[in-house]
Amino acid sequence: MDDLPPLNGLRAFAASGQHLNFRAAADALGVTQGAVAQQVRALEAHLGLPLFERLPKGLAFTPAGRAYHARVQSAFDALREATLMVKPQPEKVLISVTPTFAAKWLIPNLSAFSQAHPDVDLRVVATEQVSSFHSDGIDLAVRYANPPFGSGVEASLMFAQKVIAVAAPQVVEGQALPLSAEVLSGLPKLHDAHDLWPVFLGAFGLVCQNERGLRLSQTSLAIDAAISGQGVALVSRFLVARDLEAGRLVQVRPEVLESDKDFYLLAARRSKRSAAAEVVYRWLLSVARAD
């Protein structure tokens, strides 16, 4: 160990060699420019040879300095790799959800999860396609479906499907709520891939005189369009709970359209899922039930 140069000098030399500038190296290390220059001079004195040529606008390697820097940098890389190998890593959990569920419910809740469980690395796959627990490596999934789901899957109800009609306050300004059927009939409708307006209107005996409005591929886009005042959207109540509470949206009719499908949290049987997946599973259910 006595033959090794001072570690601070090596760190200052490595950073200076990366930037070829003492000031930039000092910024990277969080120290003063003078401290970096002094540490490099001490390393050069220890080695008995110059490592840099000092230029008016920076540094240039000497031949010995260039060769030494490559070896020093390699040694630091090896130290980082060795540290990562022994340092405990967060357990990874992969959850598959639809883009709308991710944007409107899961992501707004993730900061609370990260604070409560910093040791779990939760990764979200937002896709309309059904992912496989086996071939895609999925640990958890949220599905809009109805049971049964198979003998190897544990399913828990997260949210019952309760579809309501919502709009931005400015769209219904001056109108009494709930809107009359006539007023609702004349407002532009926002349509998503579920195309629920004919079902909603038919289920409650409402007539629609105005079919114009945006047609969007995802419910999250319909929600955003509703918030921006472009029409009335049909959405699951839990997806817009925050928007209703904050006053960005209002429910314009009292009817609630239910379905034979609901939102379920799926996972492998408890005996086959990891401890981290179990933590996420229980946390998701607790937040959903609180909502």
Please give, one letter per residue, the 3-state secondary structure of the chain.
Answer: CCCCCCHHHHHHHHHHHHHCCHHHHHHHHCCCHHHHHHHHHHHHHHHCCCCEEEECCEEEECHHHHHHHHHHHHHHHHHHHHHHHHCCCCEEEEEEECHHHHHHHHHHHHHHHHHHCCCEEEEEEECCCCCCCCCCCCCEEEEEECCCCCCCEEEEEEECCEEEEEECHHHHCCCCCCCCHHHHHHCCEEECCCCCHHHHHHHCCCCCCCCCCCECCCHHHHHHHHHCCCCEEEEEHHHHHHHHHHCCCEECCCCCEECCCEEEEEEECHHHCCHHHHHHHHHHHHHHHHC
pLDDT of residue 134: 64
Q: Where are the domains of the chain?
A: 7-86, 91-158+261-290, 162-258
Which pTM value belongs to this model? 0.67
Fold match flag (91-158+261-290 vs 162-258):
yes
Q: What is the mean pLDDT of residues 122-131?
A: 85
The residue among 147 and 287 whose pLDDT is bigger is 287
Mean pLDDT of the chain: 91
Angle between helices 22-29 and 7-19 (to 10 degrees): 120
Chain segment 181-230, per-residue pLDDT in tens: 888 888 999 999 998 998 898 888 877 665 677 899 999 999 999 999 99
The answer to whether residue 88 scores a pLDDT higher than 70 is: no
Chain segment 1-18, per-residue pLDDT in tens: 567 899 999 999 999 999
The answer to whether residue 89 scores a pLDDT higher than 90 is: no
The answer to whether residue 251 scores a pLDDT higher than 80 is: yes
Chain segment 160-173, per-residue pLDDT in tens: 999 999 999 999 99
The CATH class that applies to domain 7-86 reads: mainly alpha
pLDDT band at 149 (very low <50, low <70, confident <90, very high): confident
Q: For 162-258, which CATH superfamily applies?
A: Periplasmic binding protein-like II (3.40.190.10)
pLDDT of residue 291: 81
Determine the topology of domain 91-158+261-290 in CATH: D-Maltodextrin-Binding Protein; domain 2 (3.40.190)
